[in-house]
Amino acid sequence: MGRLFMVNINPSWHEHLSAEFAKPYFTQLTEAVREEYRRGPCYPPGKLIFNAFDLCPFDRVKVVIIGQDPYHEPGQAMGLSFSVPEGTMMPPSLVNIFKEIASDLGKEMPTSGDLTRWANQGVLLLNATLTVRAHEANSHQKLGWDTFTDATIHALSTHRQHLVYMLWGGYARSKRYLINQQQNLVLESVHPSPLSANRGGWFGQHQFSRCNEYLRQHGEGEIEW
């Protein structure tokens, strides 16, 4: 697979996804991503491509939040959907996420957009596409990442139950067919970006309290959002 793809893949995930690594598409994906990173700036840094997997082992996942692709401007992408590093200005979608949490759970707006603390509690912050070319949104969408991340969702749905899947926006909602909806909770809404959220369907959905209630009902600890 090469060094780029040997960094920070938690062994628990390798156990469930090893078949994907052996498939021709993954070899082609590896080569394509290596070439993109050679040609010019891409995000996140190579060591963080699998950060979501590294921080949230397979058997500790409680919640899955599906994003589309990484932030494409310098200093933003960190391998976790919607998250930005400490000290980085929060993107509008993340601001709206925190506004809804504040309204739903009565919490104060945080000063940091680093969601590592969520990942450490069992929130898999999964972008459907794990890399992107600088300044070009969705530029790596056709490289084959979708096949790999769909396999990730399918593996979770097959081998785990009583998880909460948060599907925000049309793209994430298109992944619902991969999920066993009888054995898991699927929460759907519009995307938290201002373009969608301000039209209605994001604020007031109480997704975060509903998530915690479901986890409680199934003997799991709540997420400290």
Active site (annotated) includes residue 104: no
Query: Can you give the length of the chain in residues?
Result: 225
Rounded Cα gap, residues 185 and 212, in angstroms:
11
Residues near 185 by beta carbon (within 8 Å), at least 6 away in sequence:
162, 163, 164, 165, 210, 211, 214
Token output for 114: 């680093």
Find the catalytic residue in 59, 69, 146, 150.
Answer: 69
Structure tokens at 38: 């050679």
Q: Supply the DSSP string of 79-92, one letter for each residue.
A: SSTT---TTSPPPH
In single-letter form, the type of residue at position 96 comes to N
Name the β-bridge partners of 64: 124, 165
Q: Which residues are catalytic?
A: 69
